[in-house]
Amino acid sequence: PTPSPTQSPTTLNPTAQPTPGPTIQPTLKPTPSPTPIPTASPVAPPLNDRCLDAASISTGIHQGSTSGASPDSNDSNQCGVNMSPSVWYNVVGTGEEMTVNTCQNLKFDTSLAIFGGPCGSL
């Protein structure tokens, strides 16, 4: 084509080498390993998890937990079918009135059963 009066003619040099552009180096990222899903460590049962291992307590304030405790077959005899964990305490009365508070500020009901006699004959 004929250049217009305002354009300069373009000269091509067939022997010229192209100017090298930037070198692009691919970045290889290692394949990430799957993130392991944390698993809860088993909680050891409390020492008073069974009737035979009941914790002896006296009057006063005592704190305990059912974390790691197992359901007990004696619970179903008192409150219907119960699959909740249980712990055991042994209290010798003094002849005075005793007050027991099982839990405060929780979003579930707790129950308390009182037994008399040896563990094998409750």
Residues 6+ apart with CB under 8 A from 122: 51, 74, 77, 115
Q: What is the pTM of this model?
A: 0.58
16-70 residue pLDDT tens: 555 555 556 556 666 667 777 777 778 899 999 999 999 999 888 888 888 899 8
**DSSP letter for each residue of 25-89:** PPPP-PPPPPPPPP-PPPPPPPTTSSGGGPEEE-SS------TT--B-HHHHHHHSS--SB---E
Q: Please tell me the predicted confidence (pLDDT) of residue 98.
A: 84
Paired residues of 8 in beta bridges = none
